[in-house]
Amino acid sequence: RSDAAFAAVDLGATSGRVITGLAGPDRLELSEAHRFANMPVRLPDGLRWDVLALYREMLEGLRAAARSGPITSVGIDTWAVDYGLLDADGALLGLPFHYRDSRNAGAAEQVLAVCGAQELYAVNGLQHLPFNTVFQLAAHRAGAQWGAARTLLLMPDLLTHWLTGVVGTEITNASTTGLFDASAGCWSDALIGRLGLERSMFPPLREPGDPAGTLLPHVVEFTGLPAGTPVTAVASHDTASAVAAVPATEPGFAYVSCGTWSLAGLELQAPVLTQESRAANFTNERGVDGTIRYLRNIMGMWLLEECRRTWDRRGEDPGLPALLAEAARARPFAAVIDPDDEVFLAPGDMPSRIDTHLVGIGQVPPGSPGGYVRCVLESLALAHRRTLREAAGLAGRELTRIHLVGGGSRNELLCQWTADATGLPVTAGPAEATALGNILVQARARGLVGDLADMRQLVARTQELRHYTPQGDQRAWDRAAARLEQA
Ligand code: LRH
């Protein structure tokens, strides 16, 4: 038989997992080997990723995966933009910074003073986010470590390097750095030079499916995986893996990959680098097989997660099921926010930031946790609507259906309200789209599944999906959207 088992390491901003997947022409089954929290740590000089803890948990997960049966290969994906710097000996220079760290304030201006926003977008096609790698590097350069830095490795590539000793940059994630040429599909030597960075810091690119070395002997010994087990480059940007596993069976679909962030957009064959696209802040990130992920970041479940952390610290978090039940009963459209206001980006007291934002736009803060949850979910549904309609307009596409994948697809209120707000059918799931995309690319590299369309067919055939049709009064959503626009 032609099925094989693969291990997917999938690290999100709040949790990580190692998942084994059995994949073949008619089979795609996941089982979770290990799940762990990803807990960033604030040091005096900033907010850092505890990358050693992540690495150790990943090794534990691989050990658990090895115990479950033979593993054909390992693939790693994580969130985008963040990186570690290696010195000339290959040693990591300090703990990688979290993209939500405040050091980035002001760094974008420094870059834009050298290379204007228009010129930058014409090359990299990237939405402006204050934490794009290119801006983080401007902040990093001012520090003492910079002189010793020789190699930049994005998070999945750093972990791959620790497993195999091999250095490389996977292309879907490279496309989130701001130093990547969206049209040519390679590092932009011109931008790198223009910004005074060393070209030699940026390793050769690899495509999803390319080999990324084999496990080092001490990794073999620790995990119990066989000597020679390969690591395969997958679509190492988690969003790229998720989009690869969208269970769309017809072209022209729209997607929302919803976790800590909501990434809402379309898959295109070529980047859109127009002025209008830049003004609307759409990104052209790279997907599997040279596709373009034309999308915009929406603040996502972060708003809810961060509200809950605040309530939890005060011993007031009633738990997600109770919160969602309360939200379902709360008054509709009592308060709606623009989730993408930069005030929501940093960690910290989210309910009081929502209050301040609401007062600023002439609305009344919610009086109860359920009210906040309703506010967040209705506001996200409105942001999904706004973003997808703008994407369709800018790309000259018609919207027919939305695929909502990722952890957020388990949230029935969010799925239903996204359908109601947009007036479009929503297919929800799979929740583990990222791990599925990771495994499918590995399976494809072994010839077990076909092209991107085949991969998606396989997900549609094998995974449980839920369907939502628009209900209720569409005009109420129009009014809420108009109210926000006028604010
Ligand atoms: C989602 C994600 C997103 C990036 C952000 C940093 O996990 O990778 O696509 O913009 O994290």
Q: What is the ipTM, given to two decimal places?
A: 0.99
CA of 79 to the centre of ligand 1 (A): 5
Question: Which atom number of ligand 1 is nearest to the Cα of residue 285?
Answer: 9
CA of 258 to the centre of ligand 1 (A): 10
Query: 368 pLDDT exceeds 70?
Result: yes
Nearest to 105, CA basis, from 66, 139, 74: 139
Q: For ligand 1, atom 7, which residue shows the shortest CA distance?
A: 79
Mean pLDDT of 199-204: 98
Is the C-beta atom of 79 inside 6 A of ligand 1? yes
Query: 90 pLDDT exceeds 60?
Result: yes
Is the C-beta atom of 80 inside 6 A of ligand 1? yes
First and final C-alpha spacing in the chain: 60
Is the C-beta atom of 235 inside 6 A of ligand 1? no
Mean pLDDT of 480-485: 95
**Alpha-carbon span 286 to 270, nearest angstrom:** 10
Question: Which atom number of ligand 1 is nearest to the Cα of residue 81?
Answer: 6
Half-sphere CA count of 455, side-chain side, radius 13 A: 24
Answer for the pair 154, 83: CB distance below 8 angstroms, yes or no.
Answer: yes
Query: 401 pLDDT exceeds 70?
Result: yes
Query: 286 pLDDT exceeds 80?
Result: yes
- The secondary structure of residue 70, as a DSSP letter, is -
Question: Which atom number of ligand 1 is nearest to the Cα of residue 263?
Answer: 9
Is the C-beta atom of 81 inside 6 A of ligand 1? yes
Residue of 38, 127, 238 to mutate, ligand 1, most atoms within 8 A of C-beta: 238
Mean pLDDT of 229-244: 98
Is the C-beta atom of 11 inside 6 A of ligand 1? no
Is the C-beta atom of 241 inside 6 A of ligand 1? no
Mean pLDDT of 127-134: 97
Q: What is the pLDDT of residues 133-179, one digit of tens each?
A: 999 999 999 999 999 999 999 999 999 999 999 999 999 999 999 99
Residue type present at position 105: A
Average pLDDT, the chain: 97
Residue of 10, 79, 173, 345 to mutate, ligand 1, most atoms within 8 A of C-beta: 79
Q: What is the pLDDT of residues 25-83, one digit of tens each?
A: 999 999 999 999 999 999 999 999 999 999 999 999 999 999 999 999 999 999 999 99
CA of 82 to the centre of ligand 1 (A): 10
Query: 252 pLDDT exceeds 90?
Result: no
At 425, which helix (H) or strand (E)? none
**Alpha-carbon span 403 to 430, nearest angstrom:** 9
CA of 174 to the centre of ligand 1 (A): 13
Catalytic residues: 238
Residue type present at position 159: L
Is the C-beta atom of 238 inside 6 A of ligand 1? yes
CA of 224 to the centre of ligand 1 (A): 32
State the CB neighbour count (10 A cutoff) for residue 147.
Answer: 9
Mean pLDDT of 297-302: 98
Q: For ligand 1, atom 9, which residue shows the shortest CA distance?
A: 239
- Give the per-residue pLDDT at 1: 57
Q: Which two tokens stand for residue 108?
A: 């974008």
Nearest to 337, CA basis, from 358, 355, 351: 358
Rg from Cα positions in the chain: 22
Is the C-beta atom of 155 inside 6 A of ligand 1? no
Question: Which atom number of ligand 1 is nearest to the Cα of residue 12?
Answer: 7
**Alpha-carbon span 18 to 36, nearest angstrom:** 9
- Give the per-residue pLDDT at 251: 86
Mean pLDDT of 372-386: 98
